[in-house]
Structure 1
Amino acid sequence: MNLPNKLTCLRILLVPVVVIIYLCISPDFCVFSQTTGLALRDILAFLVFVGASITDMLDGQIARRENLITSFGKFADPIADKMLVNTLLILMVYTHQANVVAVLLMIARDLVVDGLRMIASQHGKVVSAGMPGKVKTVLQMIAIAVLLLKNWPFAFFNLPLGSILLWCATIASLYSGWIYFYKLRKYVLESM
């Protein structure tokens, strides 16, 4: 297993760590003050999430630079991203930090794209993430980071940047889902 694939597997292993942090540390334990509302669990989840997000950036760069692109990487990398991002989005809906409609739309898109990828793989085609999908993932990751920090420091200016970014990620998610469908529609039609 090469380094990019190890980084992808590490990202998958960090998902339960974030869940444990988020569900086992009390949100009442604030680090800075009650006015900022920054709980220890949010800061720890933020740090683990940022670390996992960095592995996403690194595995792709290393794979391209060292010519270590594999079918496993093309398959596992988007799954690792979705596991990390969707887990945190669900946790934030659970704690009322994220809009449920935006999260449902993004998860529905992911399910459709996964189905399209499965259909394409039955025809011998491995589909890696395109640029719209990568933009969607970056927007999701930035939105999650801002939401985990309770919009700090933008909250001081009453700017709901986390929510704005979450809706931008939702739009990018739906757009990239449409692109996947458009590219893979012939395989869908052949499977009917």
Structure 2
Amino acid sequence: MRPELRHLPNLITVCRILLVPPTLWLIAVGDFGAALACFVVAGVSDALDGALAKGFGWTSRLGGILDPIADKLLLVGCYLVLGWNHELPRWLVALVLLRDVVIVAGALAYHWLIEALQPTPSRISKVNTLMQLVMVFAVLVSHGIWSVPPALLRALVLATAFTTLWSGLDYVLAWSARARAYRGPRRD
């Protein structure tokens, strides 16, 4: 097997990162059908690079860094642009951003003050990411190819808000408990 193939998942991830600006631009100018196509390609590429990395053992430290960055760039970017265009409630956008800021600030504090952080997403965090993705997908579908019933969109907004709050609280409680229970040497 050619050694270059092991870098394929990272190449796919870089391509996904490069898809973020055109996706956001298409949303901003109201070309929701094309934005939906880019969003779907990004989702498929995320699944593909993950399957290749895990299936063939082509994981790498770089991939472990790039993959979540690509995911966050796409999701946060979509939420910001959809909120700016009044396609999502601004309070939901603020909640999604606040959750991410709290998690990153807490992770950095834990890493600097306690010990090196080995992040592992909780089950509710994975559910929340799925809800956030479904929310963006539903808005893009609704404006791009098929009208999603307003009641369904409202239900998705509420479900996304609920899982966002639950996930953020779960991280704060879990990592606070872990910090209190830590008995090793603390970083100075």
User: Out of 14, 30, 42, which is 1:9 matched to?
Assistant: 14
Q: What TM-score comes out, normalization by structure 1 length? A: 0.77
Q: Any stretches of 5+ residues in structure 1 without a counterpart?
A: 28-40
Q: Any stretches of 5+ residues in structure 2 without a counterpart?
A: 1-5
Change (3 A) 1:71 1:20: same
Amino acid corresponding to residue 32 of structure 2 in structure 1: D
- Equivalence for 1:160: 151
Higher helix share: 2
Amino acid corresponding to residue 137 of structure 1 in structure 2: T
Match of 1:126, SS state, is: coil
User: Cα distance, 1:110 vs. partner?
Assistant: 0.7
Partners of 2:8 and 2:120 in 1: CA distance: 18
Partners of 1:120 and 1:5 in 2: CA distance: 28
Mapped contact 1:74–1:127 kept (Cα < 8 A): no
The CA deviation string for residues 60-109 of structure 1, in whole angstroms up to 9 with x for no partner, is 33322223333333333222212101111111111111011111111100
Partners of 2:187 and 2:175 in 1: CA distance: 11
Partners of 1:67 and 1:141 in 2: CA distance: 27
Change (3 A) 1:64 1:170: farther
Partners of 1:14 and 1:53 in 2: CA distance: 11
Change (3 A) 1:143 1:59: same
Mapped contact 2:141–2:148 kept (Cα < 8 A): no
Change (3 A) 1:163 1:7: farther
Mapped contact 1:8–1:77 kept (Cα < 8 A): yes
Q: What TM-score comes out, normalization by structure 2 length? A: 0.78
Amino acid corresponding to residue 162 of structure 2 in structure 1: I
Mapped contact 2:27–2:82 kept (Cα < 8 A): no
1:182 corresponds to 2:173: yes
Cα RMSD of the aligned pairs, angstroms, is 2.6
Change (3 A) 1:154 1:19: closer
User: Cα distance, 1:191 vs. partner?
Assistant: 7.4
Mapped contact 2:78–2:136 kept (Cα < 8 A): yes
Partners of 2:45 and 2:11 in 1: CA distance: 10
The count of corresponding residues between Structure 1 and Structure 2 is 174
- Equivalence for 1:22: 27
Output aligned runs, 1:22-171, within 5 Å.
Answer: 22-23=27-28, 25=29, 27=30, 41-122=31-112, 123-150=115-142, 152-155=146-149, 159-171=150-162
Mapped contact 1:78–1:129 kept (Cα < 8 A): no
Change (3 A) 1:70 1:133: farther
